[in-house]
Structure 1
Amino acid sequence: MIRIVTLFEPERAALWPHFVEHYRERVDEIHAFVQCATDTDSLEGYRLPGVTALHRWPHRFTVPFWGNSLGWYARTVFNSGYLMPIDVDEFINEDLQTLATEMERTGAIYATGWCVDRFAAGGHLPEIAAEPSLEEQFPVMCEVTKLMCGAVNTKVLITKWPHWGAIHHLGGTAEENDARLPRLLVFHHYKWDGGVIGRMKKRTRDLIAQGASYAHEPGIVTAHFEQHGRIRIEDYNVFQWDP
């Protein structure tokens, strides 16, 4: 049993159908929390075929609170299987059922992913459309997350219940686990749409208020965009993974 547990903001609603369509044949269940402003906000538009459970998230976004709360949800609601604590802009093309079998065979308790940023041609930031596919709308692959921001661009993508950690890391002996499952998965990062600059400015304010050590990272991108009017993706196309 493979389950996704995710959270997203209503302003990212255009991404949600793409996410569900991508994963509903790859996983057994999709559990999602929608960050709602009030207890009466409707969830009906998000109840798509393939979505197992949908909940309101009435809290202001903070990374530790989100991670701890979804961890609590996972341990309370489930008692077996594999969990995927991923964001709605993270798309894995891997055969996940085969991956789970490989993890069982090797004894790995989690699998790590490598972020590949997906952009529209020219580094522009268009709105996400219902069609064509996201791969067609954002065909360019590069590494802005790591090479521009200096950010951590690996994260835990799938864990064996009941192991649950922060968004990017699990506690324990990483070296031992990685020896069991030495390969990195690739996840395609469809963050770079028309609303990303506004979201980054808001996230910067939130991270500063939270005292996060990486609060400066979104500001690097927003300053770059304001200077150039686009993301200079040609400067960040050096890959350190083997596609």
Structure 2
Amino acid sequence: MPSVSPALIAVVGPVEPPMLAAWVRHYRWLGVERFLLAFHFPDHVPDTRRHQLQAAARELGIIPTGTSVGPWHEHTNTRLRDTLRHRAGPGWHLLADADEFQQYPAPLAEVIAQAEKSGRHLVGGLMLDRVAASGRLTDWRPEGGLDLAFPLGGHLTHRLLHGDPRKIVLARHDVAVASGNHRAPGHRPDTDRICAVHHFKWRSGVLDDLRRRVRHFASGTWEERTPAVRDEASRLLTHVGRNGGAINISDPRFAFRRVSLDRMPFDWPAEARGIFTSWRPYTRIGQY
């Protein structure tokens, strides 16, 4: 087995300091020892919030590799992420956004060893969107933990937003990964060993972020390569507008049920394999 744990690579935006702390604790619990983080803050984020988050990182024993301020172009994350990967050097890299908590069926060292044994240089994951029991986008209080605040997990990203739910969660340093960590051209993960990526995006403040994203991409203030990201944001905003400001947790398409970071969802391998292998990009005429 590899003797060194993977380096965690992440570009972090203006998340709440308690969320950053929970995220770091989670990955340390998984065995991650090395964190390479870059902060990027859009212009609207106050200086006080930036300083609070940077101070929170230092309190966690992490010195950010870099901090930048400015428009959040579609290519911003990819460029910053690749700079971090270059700095991390040889070995395996764990790729995660600050609202993504990965869950594996075995210790990381075993997962990596299995991938190497099978001749694969990456491991895939599938997003499992976490929401509050009411479906409302609520504040999160760290005292109770994420599982208590957002007990339901389902498939919102691709079944409502028509976004790509697939993730590359682990990749060797020489594997190029596409924007958003959704795929690695020329490589295919083992679809029988897909990890769960618990996605804690749907909380208080995200609607303002999505409205800002739509406005800035539509005006050209932020550069986009395709309208896909803007369209996904618009679909979520339309959905909650039709449902009294909440996500409709009773819609059977989303398959929301109680899940936990402590144990893999029931029948996850078959569920994840089916979605991972059948997902196709959504077209504007509504066909796959």
TM normalised by structure 2 equals: 0.75
- The one-letter amino acid of 1:224's match is H
Q: In 2 relative to 1, CA 69–34 (structure 1 residues): closer, same or farther, beyond 3 Å?
A: closer
3-state SS of 2:163 partner = coil
Q: Are residues 1:35 and 2:40 paired?
A: yes
Give the aligned partner of residue 237 of structure 2: 222
Q: What CA deviation, in whole Å up to 9, does each residue of 1:58-104 have, x standing for no partner?
A: 242223232123213311x1321111221011111213222111122
Contact 2:124–2:170 (Cα < 8 Å) also in 1 = yes
Alignment counterpart, residue 203 of structure 1, candidates 206, 213, 217: 213
- The one-letter amino acid of 1:170's match is A
Q: Are residues 1:17 and 2:21 paired?
A: yes
Q: In 2 relative to 1, CA 101–52 (structure 1 residues): closer, same or farther, beyond 3 Å?
A: farther
3-state SS of 2:90 partner = coil
Q: Are residues 1:89 and 2:89 paired?
A: no
Choose 29-38 or 110-119, whichever is displaced more: 29-38
Instruction: Give the count of matched residue pairs.
Output: 238
- The one-letter amino acid of 1:242's match is D
3-state SS of 2:175 partner = coil
Q: How well do the aligned residues superpose, as a CA RMSD in angstroms?
A: 2.5
Distance 2:137 2:152 in 1: 12
Distance 1:116 1:216 in 2: 20
Contact 1:118–1:192 (Cα < 8 Å) also in 2 = yes
Contact 2:7–2:34 (Cα < 8 Å) also in 1 = yes
Q: Are residues 1:233 and 2:237 paired?
A: no
3-state SS of 2:140 partner = coil
Q: Are residues 1:60 and 2:71 paired?
A: yes
Q: Are residues 1:49 and 2:55 paired?
A: no
Distance 1:148 1:39 in 2: 35
Contact 1:20–1:51 (Cα < 8 Å) also in 2 = no
Distance 1:22 1:11 in 2: 16
Distance 1:164 1:69 in 2: 14
In the TM superposition, what is the alpha-carbon distance from 1:11 to its structure 2 partner?
4.4
Q: Which runs of 5+ in 2 are unaligned?
A: 257-265, 269-288
Contact 1:114–1:187 (Cα < 8 Å) also in 2 = yes
3-state SS of 1:116 partner = strand
Q: In 2 relative to 1, CA 205–96 (structure 1 residues): closer, same or farther, beyond 3 Å?
A: farther
Q: In 2 relative to 1, CA 129–201 (structure 1 residues): closer, same or farther, beyond 3 Å?
A: same
In the TM superposition, what is the alpha-carbon distance from 1:221 to its structure 2 partner?
0.8
Contact 2:21–2:56 (Cα < 8 Å) also in 1 = no
Contact 2:133–2:152 (Cα < 8 Å) also in 1 = yes
Task: Report the identity percentage.
Answer: 22
